[in-house]
Structure 1
């Protein structure tokens, strides 16, 4: 794997925004389960990316960014605080993605370990929650990273062409 430098809370510049949209689109085109069907393109992911970036501005979201040797984004995980008075002891991990060229060489496991390290450093967080698309082997990947399946909504994700996939909830206790 190409070395990745991990940055928590990078400065969000117009260039980084554009590069994140490009990374997201690239992951989608490679078949990644990150919320969009193939063919969406960078402009199509921008509204959702801008929602994440608005959360950063509001202080409810943090970005863990993996930067490659060329200085571009290679991996991301958005860490989202629930904002709920009774659920402040856990965070969401959203838009977990690794540049396709870096997949299969440990970059995903490194991203998950780095996200856990960062979250442990926040203090007071006792668990991490995420969701993933069923039928892609992601449950096994997250289980290997210490997550446990805690719920499943059958056929909740329409991936196109009439195909439906389960929405799988995963939970990682930090105690």
Structure 2
């Protein structure tokens, strides 16, 4: 069953808790979403609050996918550039699909919904994202139309002695 996507959903306790659960579950399953396992909802909460503040200030927008039972199953946050020479592209952050839904095409659906949403933003010509090297994410994003446009070797320290590349990807929208 496909996900139902909503751009800029109303923020309430159910959405907040759903995103917290999703973020913790994705991280604890080995997902590269800003944390290293193990994490709890309380570990993730301060970062989610920062995202919500940025949304309230108009700097971020949220795309959320709900499964057939109405639970938060996928997210992607957009972050707008404030530098006057870079306002023609947007960042895509915290791209997540719940582990129980992975392998069902939901990641591709999320990326297509994110591209469609970005096309509705005034003046946006491209979407950029970064991903942690060593997990095959570059291949996935490449299959969704993104091009690798840069790489910083060893920029992400997952653990002492375990450094990963920070890979920059771009999706032109026009």
TM (norm. structure 1) is: 0.96
Quick check: 1:100 aligned with 2:99? yes
SS of 1:109 mapped into structure 2: helix
Q: CA deviation at 1:129?
A: 0.4
Could you tell me which runs of 5 or more consecutive residues in structure 2 were left unpaired when the two chains were aligned: none
What stretches of structure 1 move > 4 A for 4+ residues in a row? none
The alignment of Structure 1 onto Structure 2 pairs a total of residues equal to 174
CA distance in 1, matches of 2:49, 2:101: 25
CA distance in 2, matches of 1:162, 1:20: 31
Q: Cα RMSD between the aligned structures?
A: 1.0
- Single out whichever of 11-20 and 143-152 deviates more from structure 2: 11-20
Q: Which residue of 2 aligns with 1:3?
A: 2
Q: Which residue of 2 aligns with 1:26?
A: 25
Q: CA deviation at 1:25?
A: 0.3
Q: Which residue of 2 aligns with 1:135?
A: 134
Q: CA deviation at 1:162?
A: 2.4
> CA offsets, 1:35-61, max 9 Å, x none?
101111111111111111111100111
Q: Which residue of 1 aligns with 2:62?
A: 63
> Is this contact kept in 1: 2:2–2:106, CA < 8 A?
no
CA distance in 1, matches of 2:161, 2:80: 34
